[in-house]
Chain A
Amino acid sequence: MTATKQKRSMVRRAQFALEGALNMVFGNGLNPLYYLGALGFFFFWVVVISGAYIYAFYKTGIELSYPSVEYLTNEQWYFGGVMRSLHRYASDALVLVMALHLLREYIMGRYRGARWFAWFTGVLLIWLIFAAGINGYWMVWDKLAQFSTVSTVEWLDWLPIFSEPMSRSFVTQEVLNDRFFSLISFAHVTLPLFILFLLWVHIMRISKPVVNPSRGLATWMLLALLVLSLVEPALSQGPADMALEPTNLNIDWFYLFIYPLLDAWTAGQVWALVIGSTLLLAVLPWLPPRFKNIPVPEIHLNDCSGCRLCVADCPYEAVIMRPRSDGMHFAEEAVVIADRCVSCGICAGACPSSNPFRGEEDYMSGIEMPSITMSGLRTSLRSDLEKLSGRVRLLVVGCDNAVSVLQLQSASVAAISLPCIAMLPPSFIEFALHEHHVDGVLISGCRAGDCYHRLGVLWTEQRLAGKREPRLRSRAERKRIKLFWSVSLDIKELESELESFRASLTSNQTLTKVREER
Chain B
Amino acid sequence: MPKPLQYMGQVLFYLLFVVVIGFFSTSPTYTHLPPDETLIKLSFSHAGQHVGACRERTPEELAKLPQYQRKVTTVCPRERSDVVVELELDGKKLYHVVMKPAGFSRSGNSNIYRRIPVKAGKHTLKARLKDHDGDDYNYVRDETVNLVAGRIMVIEFKAETGGFIFKNHAS
Residues of A within 8 A of B29 (CB): 248-251
Asked if B55 is at the interface of the complex by the 8 Å CB criterion, the answer is no
Q: B112 touching A96 by the CB < 8 A rule? A: no
Interface residues of chain B: helix, strand, loop or mixed (majority): mixed
Asked if B32 is at the interface of the complex by the 8 Å CB criterion, the answer is yes
A171 to B116, CA, bound (A): 13
How many whole Å from B27's CB to the nearest CB in chain A?
7
1/0 per position for A250-283, CB-CB distance to B under 8 A?
1111100001100100000000000000000000
How many whole Å from A130's CB to the nearest CB in chain B?
15
Asked if B98 is at the interface of the complex by the 8 Å CB criterion, the answer is no
Q: B113 touching A171 by the CB < 8 A rule? A: yes
- Which A335-368 residues have a C-beta within 8 angstroms of B? none
1/0 per position for B24-58, CB-CB distance to A under 8 A?
11110111111100110101110000000000000
How many whole Å from A89's CB to the nearest CB in chain B?
5
Asked if B14 is at the interface of the complex by the 8 Å CB criterion, the answer is yes
- Which A24-71 residues have a C-beta within 8 angstroms of B? 24-27, 32
Cβ-defined partner of B151 (8 Å) among A225, A234, A243, A259: A243
Contacts A247-B33, A253-B24: A168 and B17 contacting too (C-beta < 8 A)?
no
Residues of A within 8 A of B151 (CB): 243-245
A456 to B11, CA, bound (A): 32
Asked if B75 is at the interface of the complex by the 8 Å CB criterion, the answer is no
Asked if B124 is at the interface of the complex by the 8 Å CB criterion, the answer is no
Residues of B within 8 A of A244 (CB): 150-152
Q: B10 touching A25 by the CB < 8 A rule? A: yes
Contacts A147-B32, A163-B111, A228-B21: A250 and B27 contacting too (C-beta < 8 A)?
yes
Asked if A129 is at the interface of the complex by the 8 Å CB criterion, the answer is no
How many whole Å from A309's CB to the nearest CB in chain B?
38
Task: Tell me the count of chain A residues lying within 8 A, CB to CB, of chain B.
Answer: 47
A225 to B22, CA, bound (A): 9
Asked if A157 is at the interface of the complex by the 8 Å CB criterion, the answer is yes
Contacts A165-B113, A253-B24: A248 and B32 contacting too (C-beta < 8 A)?
yes
Cβ-defined partner of A24 (8 Å) among B1, B38, B103, B154: B1
Residues of B within 8 A of A245 (CB): 32-33, 38-39, 150-152
A245 to B152, CA, bound (A): 6
Asked if A224 is at the interface of the complex by the 8 Å CB criterion, the answer is yes
Which residue of chain B has the shortest Cβ distance to A147 in the bound complex?
B32
A171 to B39, CA, bound (A): 11
A207 to B44, CA, bound (A): 57
A254 to B111, CA, bound (A): 35
Residues of A within 8 A of B163 (CB): none
1/0 per position for A217-254, CB-CB distance to B under 8 A?
00011011101100110100000001111111111111
Cβ-defined partner of A26 (8 Å) among B10, B43, B109, B149: B10
How many whole Å from A244's CB to the nearest CB in chain B?
6
Asked if B167 is at the interface of the complex by the 8 Å CB criterion, the answer is yes
Residues of B within 8 A of A22 (CB): 13
Q: A89 touching B152 by the CB < 8 A rule? A: no
A364 to B25, CA, bound (A): 59
Contacts A163-B102, A245-B152: A171 and B25 contacting too (C-beta < 8 A)?
no
Asked if A167 is at the interface of the complex by the 8 Å CB criterion, the answer is yes
Residues of A within 8 A of B21 (CB): 89, 92-93, 96, 225, 228
Residues of A within 8 A of B30 (CB): 248-251, 259-260
Contacts A247-B32, A253-B24: A171 and B154 contacting too (C-beta < 8 A)?
yes
Asked if A517 is at the interface of the complex by the 8 Å CB criterion, the answer is no
Asked if B169 is at the interface of the complex by the 8 Å CB criterion, the answer is yes
Q: A246 touching B33 by the CB < 8 A rule? A: yes
Residues of B within 8 A of A252 (CB): 24-26
Asked if B6 is at the interface of the complex by the 8 Å CB criterion, the answer is yes
Residues of A within 8 A of B159 (CB): none
How many whole Å from B40's CB to the nearest CB in chain A?
10
Q: List 27 A-B contacts (CB under 8 A).
A: A25-B9, A88-B25, A89-B25, A93-B17, A154-B115, A164-B102, A168-B43, A168-B44, A171-B41, A172-B167, A221-B14, A221-B17, A224-B14, A224-B18, A225-B18, A228-B21, A243-B152, A244-B151, A245-B32, A245-B38, A247-B35, A248-B31, A249-B32, A250-B29, A251-B26, A251-B30, A253-B27
Question: What 7 A-B pairs are tightest by C-beta distance, nearest first?
Answer: A25-B9, A165-B113, A250-B26, A167-B113, A228-B18, A253-B24, A224-B14
- A residues near B (Cβ < 8 Å) are 22, 24-27, 32, 88-89, 92-93, 96, 147, 154, 157, 163-165, 167-168, 171-172, 220-221, 223-225, 227-228, 231-232, 234, 242-254, 259-260, 263
